[in-house]
Amino acid sequence: MEGKKIHWKQVGYHWEMYLFIVPTIILIALFQYYPALSGVFHSFYRWNGADISEFVGFENYLKLLKNSDFWRSFELAFTLGIWNIAKMIPALAVAVCIHRCRGEFMQLTYRILFVIPMVIPGLIIVLIWRSFFFEATAGYLNKFLFSSGLFNVLVWVDHFFNWGGIFKEGNAPAWLGDPNLIVSACILWGFPWVGSFAVLTYLARLQGIPKDIYEAADVDGVTWWSKFTKIELPLITSSIKLLLVFVIIDTIKDAGMILALAGIEGGPGGNATVPALFMLRKAFIDQEMGFACAVGIILTAIVMSLQKMSNILTMWNDMREWQKKTIQGAAFAVSILTFYSGHFRAVGIALLIASIPYSDIVFFFRNLKGNLKIVFEKSEAPSHNQKAPVIVIRDDKLKAMNFITDILLRGLKHFTILFVLAMALMPLYLMVIVSLKDNRQFYFAPATLTKPFHWENWVTAYEMITPSLANSLVISITGTILTLFVALCAAYFFARHKMPMSTFLWNAILVMMMMPAIANLIPLFNLLNDMNLLNTLTCLIIVGTSSGQIFAIFVLRSFVEDIPGDLFEAAEIDGANHFQQMRIIVLPLAGPILGTVGVMNFISQWNDFVMPLIVIRDHGKLPVMVQLLRIAGEYIKLWGPLMAGYALASIPIIILFIFTMKLFTKGLTEGAIKG
Amino acid sequence: MKSNRPFQILIIVLILITVAFAAVFFLIEKKKSKVEKPAEVIAAGWLQFKMGEYKQAIKLFQKVLDGVPENSDEQIQALYGLGCTNWLKLPGGDKEKAAELFNEVIKRAPGSDYDAWSMLALVRMLHMVPADQTPDYPKVRDEYQKVYEKFPDKIAGHEAFIYMIGAYLAAFTKEDAVIAKKKLDEFLKAHPDSPFVSSAWGLCSRACETLGDKQGQLDAKLKELEKREIDPANPFMDNANAYWSIAVVAEFEVGDFETARKYYKLMMKEYPMERRNFGAMRALERMDALEAKLKAEN
Amino acid sequence: MVVYVWALISVALYRYNEAPPGTITLRISHWQLETGVRDGINELAKEYQKTHPNVRILQEAIPEGTYGQWLSTQIMSGTAPDIIEMGMIPYQVMLAYYNRYCFVMTPFVNKPNPYNKDNELANVPLRNTFKDGMAAGYVNELQEYMAIPLSSFTVRVFYNVDLLEKLTGANNPPKTYREFFDLCNKVKAMKDEKGRNYIPVVGSKYHFGIWEGALCEMMTYKVLDKADLNRDGVVGNDEFYIAIKAGLLNFDCKPIAAKYNMVREIADFCQPGFTGLSRDEGVFLFAQKRALFMTTGTWDALSLQEQAKGNFTVGIMDFPMPTKDDPAYGDVVAGPRYENPGLGFNYSVTRTSRNPEVAFDFLLFMASKKSNEKLNKIIGWIPSVIDTEIVPFLNDFKPCFTGIYGNFNVWLGGETWIRWMQLASLYQVDPNFTFKQLVEQFEPFYKEKGYDDFMEQKKNNKRVIPVNERFLTGIRSQALLSKNDSPEANSFWIKYRTQTRDRQVFYEIWVSTQMHWVNEGPPFTNEYGPYEYSPELLAKIKERVKKEKK
């Protein structure tokens, strides 16, 4: 449905449309734009967040440009971003393997099993990795390295590349204590990296491929690898390209997981300080709020530049050759100039990577491969008038080989899925196993079931986290309901008609998508303080609703646009006003998409802990993630109740997702992954 | 033709409202400019100074300066406060402005305490040079001397004297130590009850040390202890340092073991948690051992 | 829907349980999650509430990893608790917080604590009721008392009694360093049921730091005899450099060599790779009964016992010092270890408190003899108030006030410090890197490059003079504004004069003395050091003794 353009003179007939957008405007203006502008304002001040406020002009920015810690944090963010890209491979591989499963029952079973690692809150995974995998003396990672012999390989590699003894014979690597290893820990945590919705997203895309194409490929004897590279990969490539940029942007914006893993100091020597963590530290430890606001502004500028780059990437194929070469050349020149500057090296590396002419290189190697190709095909003698066609003749031996290969590949496919699943379910396994132990049993047999079972740990855990569980439920459910309601109204406003000012408002919302939320954290905190909302659940609900608007409106607008316009016209003819059209037409059809968006929003609010960590003071008002973080900081850890607590905090999400998975997947296919 | 009367009335009302607002605003500003409690504002200004908020401090002192009668005590205090803040503010002080303000105080309140403090501040500015430079000690000493001569009975004058002696002894030459010692003797004779008398004796001890007068060094230290002021609200202000210092000078410079023992024991008795008590024990053993050895040899 | 309704009811009930109107609610925050701390404070709160029924005391225990950020947030939002334990933030920020957001306690410290009226401390000024004269609560930069310390801390060695008995047949811990050394060597060679070597000493960055500071450092006491150039009883880093440069002291002198020999010995007893481990990881090993000895402080005593409960018995012993007849260290060890009272667990009252008088009253209550004793008995710590009893378990923690301390002070900042840290770290982890090599690689560099760093340090010392001037101007202003001849004015003037003398006059003389010594040489020779008698003095004493004998 293409929304009808409404002119100013016609506004009188459609004035109630503006009522749909009012709540969104209020929320976004107050809780997104105001903090952003306040951040810009305060970035020119020496401001301690309380009583010191002194105008210093550009001093904060100049100080920031000279601050080597800040630029080092960007280098780290790029490093982590590049690794995060590589970490997409397991999810992609698993999605392809599940998609290739012939039986629908197997597909469904695998899909359900993969729900669990996807929905366990990231914070819990981090805490488990911190306590169990990375622990130097008895951690599972070191045990695995020693028992598999991989550690000796690492020692040899260390020696060969002269790493300076990071891996040394007899020395258990201290993943979180060694400044040389903390970054590796930040990369490794969460293996096999099938969290978030990557698997489901890829699966949803892959399911859009008609079965006929696969049948035709089978007839043509296309190999499994060719099927992937020629059929599947091109169809999901567009989203991969976008994901690449979003992954780097997320790494720059994210502070939560590093905060949980390495602490606000950024680990030993501050080596795991990412830009957002640098900002948090400046604000809340060094009390340099004005400086932190300047950091936020620079972060925003960099993220927006990267967004722009991503737009260029999406339009790349439509550009002329000279435009492409110009951009690549300019990027290369700038990267050389900045590379040796010291402070801007991270940017230099990024530009260098971006300026490499990949397509030319690929083209070169493809031709090379073609010349060296061993031809199994037998060709007929060419006729005089045409080029000889390549005719595939199936050899019997080849047929047999193909059959064996097929069996092996199927076995490999299931093995891959099961291996990744086993690794992904390891945290859950540990949670359950350890939750039944007391400390003594834990110290002596941390990974195997031991008797007697201490079921009372679950009771202790329940008592420990119930209040915070209730808080999280109230925040997430109320926030989600409000988000969906307000966002759907706003989506209707944008999609139904092109009202005056709607383009302006839409762009205003899009701009918000590009702003890293963490950059506005400090002014937002100040605003909430002025509104007396600190230390209330209301504040978390309202802020959650406001930040959830952006993505929800984006998705729901596409959905409303897809509703046939005839339905609305028919309703108008029958005298229905916009509210009635919304109720009669939009709401009934919006079930799946609301389910998808609602689930994603719920999980996002459930998992959020950076904001509550800062605004909630009272113990009784903490949401569950912050409560778990506090419990994990206890000096004497009662491992059994702690793990039971982690499990209890994950259960609501798992239950929610299992019941809404069908709806969620349907919604994903229909609308959420468009564009 | 429609009547314009309502419009005209509206214009007149608007003008009247504007005038009323302007008048009220003017009265408020006038009222604000008269400082009701200058003493409180000055205290607030010093508080901002102590907290490192120099701009705020300057604002408050300036407010008092502008809002109190000319040459009143409060104005002099405000001028002095402005002078100190301009001199010592961060990131960089404005010494010229500060000197101007201090000179203004000297001009407006001659003979007052603030006159003395301002004069002392001017010399301190001269004395405190950047870290990679050495002060012009002869000039600095002369200026301190002037302050002392002008205010021989004020605390600021005595403080100037102490700084002057410090400037002599910091040069680390015997000639300067001789001059310092002479001046100190005169000062102690003229001002036996000066609040800085203990500091004077301490400097005397230092001068004797440079001159190699060990007995003089010890005697001055004893006097320093006798005249010492103790801040009852400072846990680190105790006599442990003084006792130890006297004891070691007595033991290793003068050879007066009796005095040394007395003060080692006093320290151990009055300060049982003092970490040098072990050293004091060693000292007592050492002295006993030496005397025993020498007696045996004799 | 059901779940949502349940959640709403839970949240509503929490609101309902908030304090009724008219109640004074005091909030107290800290990061001490050790066993017993929360219980101890709750117990005192209950006691206090018996006599103050309209006062409700709420405790907020925040993990130390997030305490700094949490505290900053609360202070910024003006919602800081009434009583806070100040810490877990950079020192400069802490000073700023004290200056801006906390009440000064100086006016009260010379008055008796009203909650001591029933005991022998009834007329004793508050500050004198503390073991260190309340020095732990005094902020030197502000020259004010800003906090009240509630506990005393020292460090000791903990050991697994059962494991000791299993490995040696006896459960008597070693009393001397030699016994300790021999025992550790024996244990190092033994293996457990899984074939893994036992670890004699738990190592981690945190734990080894304590071993080095509390034991090995003691070997350097006698550096004092050569390097305490101003004879103040302590060797500063400037004196240390001057002594090395002038040849009065060498890095391979007996005391320093002894320290690093001991560092090597103890490092060899720790598990490989210990320098990269965190404190928790070290404690884990001890809890798993793989390690015999571990060091930590009183703050961990009860927590360790709790962790080991039902598993093994935890014993405590003092650091095993070498005896005077020790073959390796007898020469350098002059006496037992000195420990200062080490008060901490400091609490301040914030200016954002709505009831600062009540907050301060509660603090005084906690600092009274009876309450302080009770609090620390529950926590298993040592009280900060004098004449209090401690739990028998902690008798071994009573500090020793007459003993030796370390005098190795190589810090000059700059490149010498970087080089030292690299070499010292290497020495800790690489058994093939000898002390001789350490000295050979460092001493010439220290002597030569150290001069630049020393001069830079003197410049930094001079840069402190304007800082002191600012500080003194502040005190002077308080003195000038105080009423003439009032006790307050008197106190300010005394403070002003003594600080002027110490921080400006004598400070400048000391800096210039050091400059003189480093360029011209100190007033001692290799023949006689600061604590030795010069030939002239000996002659004089001899004469006196002769006369006395006559």
Q: What is the pLDDT of residues A319-350, one digit of tens each?
A: 788 887 887 888 788 778 776 665 556 666 76
Burial of B10 (0-12, 13-18, 19+ CB in 10 A): exposed
Is A132 found in the same domain as A32? no
The rounded distance, in Å, linking the Cα atoms of C243 and C446 is 12
Q: Are C375 and C40 in contact (CB under 8 A)?
A: yes
CA angle at A593 for the pair A589 and A598, rounded to the nearest 5°? 125
Task: Give the pLDDT mean for B267-290.
Answer: 94
Could you tell me if A492 and A561 lie in one domain? yes
Q: Which CATH class is domain B36-109?
A: mainly alpha
Q: How confident is the model at residue A465 (pLDDT cuts 50, 70, 90)?
A: confident
CA pair distance A559, A551, nearest whole angstrom = 13
Separation CA B273–CA B271 (nearest Å): 6
Q: What is the pLDDT of residue C181?
A: 96
Verify that A566 and A651 share a domain, yes or no.
Answer: yes
**Residue A70: how many CA atoms within 13 Å on its side-chain side?**
21
Instruction: For residue B104, give every residue at least 6 positions away whose Cβ sits within 8 Å of its Cβ, in sequence order, or none.
Output: B79, B83
Residue A21 lies in a domain: yes
**Structure token pair of residue C354:** 């709505």
Rounded to whole angstroms, how far apart are CA atoms C99 and C470? 14
For range A1-13, the mean pLDDT: 74
Residue B248 amino acid letter: V
Instruction: Determine whether A492 is exposed, middle or buried from the number of CB atoms within 10 Å of its CB (0-12, 13-18, 19+).
Output: buried
Q: Is residue A378 one of the residues assigned to a domain?
A: no
Does residue A548 share a domain with residue A527? yes
Q: Are residues A67 and A27 in the same domain?
A: no
For chain A, the first-to-last Cα distance in angstroms comes to: 17
Rounded alpha-carbon distances, angstroms, from residue A73 to A243, A274, A295, A522: 22, 5, 12, 19
d(CA C221, CA C406): 5
Domain of A409 in residue numbering reads as 52-136+190-316+394-425
Query: pLDDT tens digits for B16-59?
Result: 777 776 676 566 555 555 567 888 999 999 988 988 889 889 99
Specify the pLDDT at position A378: 46
What are chain C's domains? Answer: 17-154+341-397 (3.40.190.10), 162-338+410-459+515-542 (3.40.190.10)
What tens digit of pLDDT does each residue of A372-385 get?
655 454 444 444 44
Distances (CA, A) of A186 to A127, A180, A189: 12, 12, 6
Percent of chain C, pLDDT > 70? 99
* DSSP state letters, A153-193: HHHHHHHHHT--SSS-TTPPP-TTT-TTTHHHHHHHTTTT-
Q: What is the pLDDT of residue B30?
A: 55
Residues A402 and A291 in one domain: yes
Answer yes or no: do A410 and A538 share one domain.
Answer: no
The interface residues of chain C toward chain A in range 303-322, judged by CB-CB distance below 8 A, are: 303, 306-307, 310-311
Here the ipTM equals: 0.87
Give first-to-last CA distance, chain C, whole Å.
Answer: 107
A45 pairs with which residues across the strands?
Answer: A55
Chains that touch A (3 or more CB pairs under 8 A): B, C
Nearest CA in chain B to A51: B53
Indicate whether A457 belongs to any domain. yes
Question: Is residue A285 located within the same domain as residue A402?
Answer: yes
* Total Cβ atoms within 10 A of residue A3: 18
Residues of A in contact with C311 (CB under 8 A): 439-440, 443
Can you tell me the mean pLDDT for B205-225?
Answer: 95
Number of C-beta neighbours around residue A426 at 10 A: 20
Kindly state the average pLDDT of the residues B227-254: 87
- Identify any residues that bridge with C55 across adjacent strands, giving them in sequence order: C24
> How far apart are the C-alpha atoms of A623 and A468, rounded to whole Å?
5
Take residue A174 and report the two structure tokens written for it: 């201290």
Q: What is the dihedral of CA C130, C131, C134, C138, to 10 degrees?
A: -160
The rounded distance, in Å, linking the Cα atoms of C258 and C278 is 27
pLDDT for position C241: 96
Reduce the secondary structure of chain B to three states and give it as a string. Answer: CCCCHHHHHHHHHHHHHHHHHHHHHHHHHHHHHCCCCHHHHHHHHHHHHHCCCHHHHHHHHHHHHHHCCCCCHHHHHHHHHHHHHHHHCCCCCCHHHHHHHHHHHHHHCCCCHHHHHHHHHHHHHHHCCCCCCCCCHHHHHHHHHHHHHHCCCCHHHHHHHHHHHHHHHHCCCHHHHHHHHHHHHHHHHHCCCCCCHHHHHHHHHHHHHHHCCHHHHHHHHHHHHHCCCCCCCCCCCCCHHHHHHHHHHHHHHHCCHHHHHHHHHHHHHHCCCCCCHHHHHHHHHHHHHHHHHHHHHC
Interchain CB contact of B47 with A (< 8 Å): no
C28, C71, C99, C281: best to mutate for the A interface, most A CBs within 10 A: C281
Find, among A419, A437, A414, the residue nearest to A117 by Cα.
Answer: A419
Residues, chain C: 550
> Which positions in chain B touch C223 (Cβ < 8 Å)?
none
Average pLDDT over residues C208-217: 94
Kindly report the backbone phi and psi dihedral angles of residue A531, in degrees, each rounded to the nearest multiple of 5, phi listed first: -90, 5
Residue A329 domain flag: no
Q: Is A162 left (phi over 0), alpha (psi -120 to 50) or beta?
A: left
pLDDT confidence tier of residue A36, bands split at 50, 70 and 90: confident
Position A345 in a domain: no
Counting other chains too, the contacts that A67-70 makes at CB distance below 8 Å and 24 or more residues apart are A68/A342, A68/A343, A69/A270, A69/A273, A69/A278, A70/A275, A70/A278, A70/A295
> Cβ atoms within 10 A of the Cβ of A454, count?
18
The pLDDT of residue A99 is 84
Give the tens place of pLDDT for each residue, A265-293: 888 888 889 988 998 888 888 888 889 98
- Tokens encoding C259: 């320290």
Nearest C-alpha in A relative to C80: A617
How confident is the model over A39-65, as a mean pLDDT? 84
Put simply, whether C68 touches A (Cβ < 8 Å) is yes
Does some domain include residue A589? Answer: yes
User: What pLDDT, in 10s, does the model give residues A75-102?
Assistant: 888 888 888 888 888 888 888 888 888 7
Residue A217 lies in a domain: yes
pLDDT in tens, C474-484: 999 989 988 77
Domain over B128-229 is classified CATH 1.25.40? yes
* Maximum CA extent, chain C: 107
Say if B36-109 and B128-229 have the same CATH topology.
Answer: yes
Q: Looking at beta carbons, which residues of chain A come within 8 Å of C74?
A: 617
Handedness of CA A20, A26, A31, A32 (dihedral sign): positive
Tell me, yes or no, whether A484 and A560 share the same domain: yes
Q: Is residue A515 domain-resident?
A: yes
Q: What is the pTM of this model?
A: 0.78
Residues within 8 A of C (CB atoms), A 115-154 only: 135-138
Query: Is residue C398 predicted with pLDDT exceeding 80?
Result: no
Given this model, what pLDDT does residue A379 score? Answer: 44
Q: Rounded CA gap, C483 and C429, in Å?
A: 62
- What is the CB-side half-sphere exposure of residue C160 using CA atoms within 13 A? 29
CA A430 to CA A434: how far, in whole Å? 6
Judge whether residue A503 has pLDDT over 90: no
- Cβ–Cβ < 8 Å for B229, C494: yes
| C490 touching chain A per CB within 8 A | no
Query: Is residue C523 classed as helix, strand or coil in its secondary structure?
Result: coil
| pLDDT over threshold 70, residue B84 | yes
Residues C164 and C313: beta-carbon distance below 8 Å = no
In chain B, what residues touch C495 (CB-CB under 8 Å)? 231, 233-234
pLDDT band at A532 (very low <50, low <70, confident <90, very high): confident
Measured between beta carbons, which residues in chain C are less than 8 angstroms from residue B236?
A: 135, 138, 140
Asked if C100's CB is within 8 angstroms of A171's CB, the reply is: no
Looking at residue A198, what DSSP letter applies?
H
- Radius of gyration of chain C measured on its C-alpha atoms: 27
Per-domain residue ranges of chain B: 36-109, 128-229
Query: What CA–CA distance (Å, rounded) separates C45 from C25?
Result: 11
Residue A159: phi, psi to the nearest 5?
-70, -40
Residue of A nearest to B48 (CA): A52
**A65 and A38 in one domain?**
no
Chain CA centroid to CA A523, Å: 25
Alpha-carbon distance of B71 to A288, in angstroms, equals 41
**What CATH number did the domain enclosing A57 receive?**
1.10.3720.10
Type and span of the H or E element at C173: none
Of all residues in chain A, what percent carry a pLDDT higher than 90? 7
CA atoms within 13 A on the CB side of B160: 29
Q: Domain count of chain A?
A: 2
pLDDT at B7: 57
pLDDT at residue C201, as a whole number: 95
A-B contacts at Cβ under 8 angstroms: 3
Q: What is the mean pLDDT of residues B76-83?
A: 95
User: Residue C425 and residue C506: Cα distance in Å, rounded?
Assistant: 37
For residue A121, CA distances in Å to A177, A504, A625, B7 come to 25, 37, 9, 68
Are B74 and B68 within 8 A, CB to CB?
Answer: yes
CA distance C82 to chain B (A): 21
φ/ψ region of C400 (left if φ > 0, alpha if ψ in -120 to 50, else beta) reads beta
* Confidence (pLDDT) at A667: 64
Same domain, A410 and A455: no
Same domain, A411 and A555: no
Q: Please state, in angstroms and rounded to a whole number, the distance separating the CA atoms of residues C294 and C156.
A: 9
Distance from the B47 Cα atom to the nearest Cα atom in chain A, whole angstroms: 14
Nearest of C442, C410, C345, C355 to residue C148 by alpha carbon? C345
Cα diameter, chain B: 136
End-to-end Cα distance, chain B: 136
Q: Please confirm whether the linkage preceding A192 is cis (ω < 30° from 0).
A: yes
Nearest CA distance, C4 vs chain A (angstrom) = 7
Distance CA C398, CA C391 (A): 11
